[in-house]
Amino acid sequence: MSLANILLRKACNSHLPISKRARPLIQYFQALSNFSGSSTSALHHGNGKGLAVCSIQPTGVLHLGNYFGAVKQCISLQNAGEDVLICISDIQALQSIHDRKVLQNNILVTAATLIACGVDPDKTILFQQSSVPQHAQLDWIFHCLVDINEPDRVQRHAKKLQAIKEPKLGQYVSPVLQATDVLLFKSNTIPSGEDFADQYQMICRTASMFNKKYGQCFLVPQLSMGDFSSRIRSFRQPDEKMSRSAADPRSRIEMLDTPETVTEKCKKAVTDFTSEVYFDAVGRPGVSNLMALHSLVTKKDYETIKTECIGLETAKYKFIVADAINEFLKPIRARVNKILQDKSSLVTELKTGSCRAQLIAERTMKEIHHKIGLQPSEIDQILNVAKTNAPIGRVRGSQIQSVDLKINNSSTDSSRKHKFIFSGIQPTGVLHLGNYFGAVKQWVDLQNGGDDVIVCVVDQHAITVPQKRESLHDNILLMAASIIACGVDPERCILFQQSKVPQHAQLNSIIRNVAHVAFLSRQAQYKDKVTSLEKAPSLGLFSYPVLQAADILLYQATHVPVGDDQRQHIQVAVQIARQFNKRYGEKIFRIPTAMILDSSLARVKSLYQPLKKMSKSEANKDSRIEILDSPESIVNKCKNSSTGNFSGNIRYDLADQPGVSNLMTIHSIISGSSFESIEAECSTLDISDYKLRVADAIIEHLKPIRTTAVQLLSDKATLHIILEKGASLATARAQQTLQTVHEKVGFWL
């Protein structure tokens, strides 16, 4: 498929409005050709150009400091033939804007103002952050890369946090998303002001950390600080820069201020009482600030201004500055008003810019997913071959029958009485008996009982702790094969890989704005994990309960199967859902219910430490029976299992004989026999014979599972197709929820 057709298809998928003033999309394809470079380097490589990325929050009207700072730099680069992307960072804006209509209006006004100032959508890609899902995907990967203290190293950000009584996670991690905005497009230039230096250092650290860990991927960009933005100070506190976050609106001249407002603000500008007009930034910051603005809007130097204003009192000079500013802003205000009269065309510009940005971002994310092990580099070739040669099969026993995957996609039909189940499992090793009986087998029972089941291989959760790239993708396929072999039927439920559905990361980036940092820090499982670490935990490990909440809420799950020790995670999802629904005045999310799994998982203990749960994380592999273990391995593990100083008859006595009792528990679960029946049948056996009896029962039970899993793993192309099909079905459901969320928060224009 040609790039033009891809672009057209994406435009259709995003419901891009058609306006009589909108340029044909084919023009964007032609313009995009000027942005395309090699797949592994920045866009400007190969054409001698630079690439600049600038993020602007739609948190209010742009002021003169913004214009003469980053905006003017972007326009200069654009007019010099450089490649420029301007991101309207609406996700960041959720930290402070909770009203849908306010945010929608701010996005449109920001876009209109940028265009009116000289940003040309034919030359510069102007887009919404929320419309490019790769922002959220890369943001999560960076969460798992940097440690929990990284945001605090950005001093300007840390200072802001100190003023917030109860910071939300979205507020705390915002520097990571800012780094994502730049690195996603492999920018080599960041147009910004002098106060961006700390954030710039964080961007460089993040790029270097990724390159060191996974191999060269990101450029280390250069910070291009404007000569003028630092000279424009607050009208009320001229020792500070002009800022949209200042509480007093009189402190800044906004690009859309009326002439009367500009004059009034200039009149109230703080200055000294010296009548003479001359520039002295240290001794006379107030007057010097007025002169700086006067110079910028008229292009006159200070000496000329001083000469023209000899004998003028400061009070009268303020009116001269106001007149000059009004003359400068007059055509910009007129252009903004004209642009806003045709909002459909403005929305088209943003939607089309988002399509263009997404095409570029997809290339970066494909490379990154390969580097960290979430997908093989040859995935497209694998899928193309598989689609041609290997039809998908429903797995029964050891046979794979060719079928089409058809799954009821009516997940939002509240009239259906059955449950909507979501469950996830990390691809961190082979399933063991505890996983199988405690979780997977119960998913199968729910599936076979007619419930709507979604099973997700949560690879994005897996990378919250270090993973080997070489083994991560193999583990994803291994987990998928194991789950299918255990009876999860991809024809009757949805089985997919988390990172293939970007809406997980997108929803995470939104709902974290209602999750309190203090609340997350009190999570018991987080505290337990931190105690075993030798260094500071990753930001991803700290915030993963929010991603887990996004996993659940994205599919409007009614029930989430969990072990008793995971209740707290569901409580996080419930709290976030309630807070989000309360903030936006709608019942956007269903409130999920924890479905406490059968206690089998807790009952199946380690073969070496029978008072502890069987676990994939235990260092001694002989402590667990894995579902793909060979018969010989199962026999050896059972023979060497810890049973203490056992003597007498085989009996269930958890207090005195935990090792024997654990073997009996496994025997009972597999055979369906009660402890009394097992005692009656095996009471005369010595412990070594009983261990062999248990091993035989396990081998017999796991034989068809192991056979099917091995067969599936020998045909990885089919596994890829199953996961891709599942991801397509999951995406269809997830997009329904995400679109609703985008509408409610104000992203959908």
Which residues make beta-bridge pairs with 125?
Answer: 85
Using alpha carbons only, give the angle 289, 295, 296 rounded to the nearest 5 degrees: 95
Domains 51-225+342-370 and 620-712 share a fold: no
Backbone φ and ψ of 748, nearest 5°: -80, 115
CB atoms < 10 A from the CB of 76, how many?
A: 16
What type of residue sits at position 449? G
Q: Where are the domains of the chain?
A: 1-35, 51-225+342-370, 249-329, 416-601+715-745, 620-712
Proportion of the chain above pLDDT 90, given as a percent: 67
Instruction: Name the token pair of 671.
Output: 């055979």
Proportion of the chain above pLDDT 70, given as a percent: 86
Sheet holding 222-225, edge to edge: 124-128, 83-88, 51-56, 189-192, 222-225
Instruction: Name the token pair of 286.
Output: 């107030």
State the average pLDDT over residues 597-616.
82
Instruction: Name the token pair of 236.
Output: 């009320």
Name, in order, each residue with C-beta under 8 angstroms of 612's C-beta and a sequence gap of 6 or more. 605, 606, 618
Q: For tokens 């190969």, what's the residue?
A: 46
Closest CA to 488 of 564, 544, 421, 555: 421
> Is 613 a known active-site residue?
yes
Identify whether the C-beta of residue 601 lies closer than 8 Å to the C-beta of residue 564.
no
3-state secondary structure of 222: strand
d(C-alpha 25, C-alpha 3), whole Å: 11
Instruction: Name the token pair of 211.
Output: 């390159």
Indicate which residue of 300, 366, 387, 529 is catalytic. 529
Name, in order, each residue with C-beta under 8 angstroms of 577's C-beta and a sequence gap of 6 or more. 549, 553, 589, 590, 591, 592
Closest CA to 363 of 216, 190, 509, 184: 184
For residue 726, pLDDT over 80 is answered with: yes
Q: Which CATH superfamily is domain 249-329 in?
A: Tyrosyl-Transfer RNA Synthetase (1.10.240.10)
Exposure string for 116-126, b = 16+ CB within 10 A, e = fewer: bbbbebebbbb
Name, in order, each residue with C-beta under 8 angstroms of 682's C-beta and a sequence gap of 6 or more. 650, 690, 693
Beta 559-562 vs 593-596: how paired, if at all? parallel
Mean per-residue pLDDT of the chain? 87
Q: How confident is the model at residue 548 (pLDDT cuts 50, 70, 90)?
A: very high
3-state secondary structure of 306: helix
d(C-alpha 696, C-alpha 674), whole Å: 18
Q: What's the fold here for domain 620-712? A: Tyrosyl-Transfer RNA Synthetase (1.10.240)
d(C-alpha 272, C-alpha 285), whole Å: 9
Look at residue 25 in the predicted model and tell me its pLDDT.
Answer: 39
Indicate which residue of 616, 639, 691, 725 is catalytic. 616
For residue 500, pLDDT over 90 is answered with: yes
Identify whether the C-beta of residue 77 lies closer than 8 Å to the C-beta of residue 191.
yes
Identify whether the C-beta of residue 444 lies closer than 8 Å to the C-beta of residue 124.
no
Dmax over CA atoms of the chain, in Å, equals: 115
H-only helix segments in 457-498: 459-462, 469-485
CATH code for the part of the protein at 416-601+715-745: 3.40.50.620
Look at residue 406 in the predicted model and tell me its pLDDT.
Answer: 38
State the average pLDDT over residues 536-557.
96
Q: What is the reported pTM?
A: 0.89
Instruction: Name the token pair of 146.
Output: 């940097």
CB-based burial of residue 178 (10 Å sphere; 0-12 exposed, 13-18 middle, 19+ buried)? buried
Identify whether the C-beta of residue 286 lies closer than 8 Å to the C-beta of residue 279.
no
CATH code for the part of the protein at 51-225+342-370: 3.40.50.620
For residue 412, pLDDT over 80 is answered with: no
* E strand or H helix that includes residue 138: helix 134-145
d(C-alpha 307, C-alpha 557), whole Å: 72
For residue 409, pLDDT over 60 is answered with: no
Closest CA to 434 of 626, 245, 184, 277: 626
Q: How confident is the model at residue 603 (pLDDT cuts 50, 70, 90)?
A: confident
d(C-alpha 80, C-alpha 459), whole Å: 43
* E strand or H helix that includes residue 402: strand 399-402
Measured in whole angstroms, how far is the alpha carbon of residue 565 from the centre of its chain?
26
CB-based burial of residue 692 (10 Å sphere; 0-12 exposed, 13-18 middle, 19+ buried)? middle
For residue 386, pLDDT over 60 is answered with: no
Instruction: Name the token pair of 181.
Output: 């905005």
**What letter would DSSP give residue 439?**
I
Identify whether the C-beta of residue 637 lies closer than 8 Å to the C-beta of residue 614.
no
For residue 421, pLDDT over 50 is answered with: yes
Identify whether the C-beta of residue 57 lies closer than 8 Å to the C-beta of residue 97.
no
d(C-alpha 419, C-alpha 558), whole Å: 6
> Is 616 a known active-site residue?
yes
Indicate which residue of 613, 621, 639, 725 is catalytic. 613
Q: Minimum mean pLDDT among 21-25, 75-79, 570-574: which range?
A: 21-25
Beta 559-562 vs 222-225: how paired, if at all? unpaired
d(C-alpha 58, C-alpha 93), whole Å: 6
Give tens-digit pLDDT for 22-68.
Answer: 343 334 334 444 443 333 333 443 344 679 999 999 999 999 999 99
Look at residue 387 in the predicted model and tell me its pLDDT.
Answer: 55
d(C-alpha 445, C-alpha 436), whole Å: 12
Look at residue 280 in the predicted model and tell me its pLDDT.
Answer: 79
Which residues make beta-bridge pairs with 719?
Answer: none
3-state secondary structure 623-662: HCCECCCCHHHHHHHHHCCCCCCCCCCCCCCCCCCHHHHH
Give tens-digit pLDDT for 646-700.
Answer: 777 898 988 889 999 999 999 999 999 999 999 999 988 999 999 999 999 999 9
Look at residue 44 in the predicted model and tell me its pLDDT.
Answer: 40
